[in-house]
Amino acid sequence: MNRTDIMEILPHRASMLLVDEAFKTGEHSASGKYTVRGDEWFLDGHFPGNPVVPGVILCEIMAQTCAVILADEVKGATPYFTGLNKVKFRRKVLPGDKLEISCDVTGSKASFYFAKAKANVCGNLVASAEFSFAIVREEGS
């Protein structure tokens, strides 16, 4: 699915929609891609003259990719981070890099979901994390 398809699932929009394409690869797994263009808002001050994608943005990219697995549950709701664990950043991610994400939902309890993800650039691991999130429907939805 492309960005337009992803916007039918996620509530994120321009400047915070950080997945170019994503695909469900199994019942509990997905992969996604994002190319760092170099003009993203988060690169402006991180760091002037030496732009590096912030780690928290890498976590967001991984989580947005994971939400594709739960498309039916996420549609019409908002997925909120509830925890990040075992987060590791191994290499810098720079403008021009093409991120490849793989993720798995590892469990759930009511509206809470648990997942793990890895981000690679050119086959090299750049980040990994375990995270949890809640899918929240606004009252009246």
* Sign of CA pseudo-dihedral 136, 88, 12, 76: negative
Task: In whole angstroms, give the CA distance from residue 47 to residue 116.
Answer: 28
Q: Which residues are catalytic?
A: 46
> Are 30 and 68 a contacting pair, CB within 8 Å?
yes
Task: In whole angstroms, give the CA distance from residue 66 to residue 43.
Answer: 23
> Are 4 and 14 a contacting pair, CB within 8 Å?
no
